[in-house]
């Protein structure tokens, strides 16, 4: 019987190998009933964008703790757009200073979550803002 | 519309293809209409199944095989299946982690699927997903099952060549004698063969194979030992050996009656699958929506009826419906 499901990808761009948070979030999304593609650490924005397209995800969650988010996050959003996948929602998380929020939103990110955010808040955000596409 | 989509897929459009797979997973009825226009263009790819216990190294071997086939300029499609939670319906699809180095190669298309309750180690959408990759023109299609136990043998209904991946330390020879997954291998891989117990496993497996007095079509499954991936040179040599055996097996299928046998088995499954989606599911949907399903459950609990009587009555009613509909059409 017809059943739409939210598909999301959790990815870690760049050289940062601290994936505890990303893994916990992936697990949390699974428990919320989403299908979660996890691609592991050390991904280039190109790898992430291609994987997101091949997997037909509704949302990409990027995690970065190294400070390179100002380049990596917008680059993923840009590559998705370039390949006609601008309907894929991009969100970000990690150690992100307040003053960077504006440029990330301008680059197309739809939400940014920083350390201390309750997991339930992120799951709720996804449920409210991401609809499985048809 | 459906024809247009099918054409795009045949031209290799990844977005259309992956979306169609999704619509099939989600059981959107129109998706099957598109498959109608794809089916005539299938049957060219060599479909290879990989199965084995969780953590045996299926994804890593899949990745190595992609590299090997790309080296021979073959295009590759991968369908990687991981389990759906029976409680939340969610899934972690993590096979792709091992294959990400091919993400920027446009000739490699990797798609992860969740089982969504299917029991045979695959997803119900996998048969059609294979057709889609086939129609896209992929030379090789690698189908990776969920981590399997003993009994998830569904992959033989879809693949030409089945690779069963074993690792040392998973039990004694009785495990190798059991029915199920040990019977479906066209090729055995003993992975992580640098670990303790690998030689013993190899010997036991060979003994088991020697006891078989008859192999279908005369193909005795070869056993390939694959050692430590971090020792790249010998690892790659083993993968080359594996790719060689896979190719040899395909040749053997083509030269014997076996390819036709497998094709017939595959088509049988396709018909059963179509019966399920086009007959069983619409009936179930109607029963659920009309509330009759609930009534049936209550009748069984109260022992007012039994399952067979209930369905016999239903079948009678459905037959009558069909007859009156066809007489109206006349």
Q: Which portions of chain B are predicted below pLDDT 70?
A: 329-330
What mean pLDDT is reported for chain A? Answer: 93
Q: What percent of chain A has pLDDT over 70?
A: 99
Instruction: Find all residues with CB under 8 Å of B221, minimum gap 6, and list them.
Output: B185, B186, B187, B188, B209, B215
Could you report the per-residue pLDDT of B213-260, keeping only the tens digit for each? 788 888 999 999 998 788 888 899 999 999 999 999 999 999 998 899
Instruction: Give CA–CA dist B123/B266, Å, rounded.
Output: 15
Domain ranges for chain A, please list them. Answer: 7-127
Give the pLDDT score at B109: 96
Chain B residues in contact with A37 (beta carbon < 8 A): 93-94, 96, 112
Query: Quick one: closest CA in A to B83, which residue?
Result: A35
Q: Which helix (H) or strand (E) holds A60?
A: strand A59-64
| Nearest alpha carbon to residue B283 among A42, A21, A1, A20 | A1
Chain B residues in contact with A29 (beta carbon < 8 A): 90
Residue located via tokens 């992430």: A48
Q: Which CATH number fits domain B43-258: 3.40.720.10, 3.40.50.300, 3.30.70.2860, 3.40.190.10?
A: 3.40.50.300
Give the pLDDT score at B178: 77
pTM for this entry? 0.92
Identify the three-state secondary structure at position A42.
coil
Question: So what's the ipTM on this one?
Answer: 0.93
Give the pLDDT score at B329: 66
Could you report the per-residue pLDDT of A23-78, keeping only the tens digit for each? 999 999 999 999 999 998 899 999 999 999 999 999 999 999 999 999 999 999 99
Q: Flag if B19 and A31 touch (Cβ within 8 Å).
A: no
Q: Flag if A134 and B103 touch (Cβ within 8 Å).
A: no
Q: Flag if B92 and A27 touch (Cβ within 8 Å).
A: yes
Q: Does A73 touch chain B (CB under 8 A)?
A: no
Kindly report the CATH number that applies to the domain delimited by A7-127: 3.40.50.280
Give the pLDDT score at A134: 63
């Amino acid at each position: 019987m017809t059943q739409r499901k939210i598909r999301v990808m959790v990815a870690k761009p760049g050289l940062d190998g601290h994936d505890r948070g990303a893994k916990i979030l992936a697990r949390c999304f699974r428990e919320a009933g989403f299908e979660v593609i996890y691609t592991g650490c050390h991904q280039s924005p190109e790898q992430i964008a291609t994987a997101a397209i091949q997997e037909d995800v509704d949302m990409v969650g990027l995690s970065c703790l190294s400070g390179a988010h100002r380049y990596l996050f917008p680059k993923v959003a840009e590559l998705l757009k370039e390949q006609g996948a601008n309907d894929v929602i991009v969100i970000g998380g990690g150690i992100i200073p307040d003053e960077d929020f504006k440029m990330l939103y301008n680059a197309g990110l739809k939400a940014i979550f920083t350390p201390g955010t309750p997991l339930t808040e992120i799951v709720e955000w996804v449920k409210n803002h991401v609809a499985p596409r048809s | 519309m459906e024809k247009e989509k099918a054409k795009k897929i045949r031209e290799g459009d990844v977005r259309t293809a992956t979306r169609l797979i999704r619509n099939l997973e989600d059981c959107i009825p129109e998706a099957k209409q598109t498959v109608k226009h794809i089916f005539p263009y299938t049957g060219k790819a060599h479909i290879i199944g990989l199965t084995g216990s969780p953590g045996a190294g299926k994804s890593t071997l899949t990745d190595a095989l992609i590299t090997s086939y790309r080296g021979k300029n073959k295009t590759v499609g991968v369908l990687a299946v991981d389990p759906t939670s029976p409680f939340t319906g969610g899934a972690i699809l993590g096979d792709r982690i091992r294959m990400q180095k091919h993400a920027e190669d446009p000739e490699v298309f990797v798609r992860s699927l969740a089982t969504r309750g299917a029991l045979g180690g695959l997803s119900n959408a996998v048969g059609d997903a294979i057709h889609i990759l086939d129609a896209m023109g992929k030379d090789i299609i690698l189908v990776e099952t969920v981590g399997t136990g003993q009994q998830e043998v569904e992959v033989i209904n879809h693949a030409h060549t089945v690779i069963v991946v074993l690792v040392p330390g998973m039990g004694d020879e009785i495990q190798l004698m059991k029915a199920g997954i040990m019977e479906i291998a066209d090729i055995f891989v003993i992975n992580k063969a640098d670990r303790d117990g690998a030689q013993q496993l190899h010997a036991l497996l060979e003994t088991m194979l020697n006891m078989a007095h008859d192999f279908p079509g005369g193909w005795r499954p070869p056993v390939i030992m694959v050692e430590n991936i971090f020792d790249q040179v010998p690892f790659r040599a083993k993968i080359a050996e594996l790719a060689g055996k896979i190719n040899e097996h395909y040749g053997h299928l083509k030269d014997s009656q076996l390819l036709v046998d497998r094709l017939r088995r595959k088509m049988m499954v396709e018909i059963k699958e179509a019966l399920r989606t086009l007959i069983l599911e619409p009936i179930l949907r109607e029963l659920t929506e009309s509330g009759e399903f609930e009534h049936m459950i209550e009748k069984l609990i109260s022992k007012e009826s039994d399952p067979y009587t209930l369905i016999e009555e239903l079948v009678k009613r459905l037959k009558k419906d069909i007859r009156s509909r066809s007489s109206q059409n006349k």
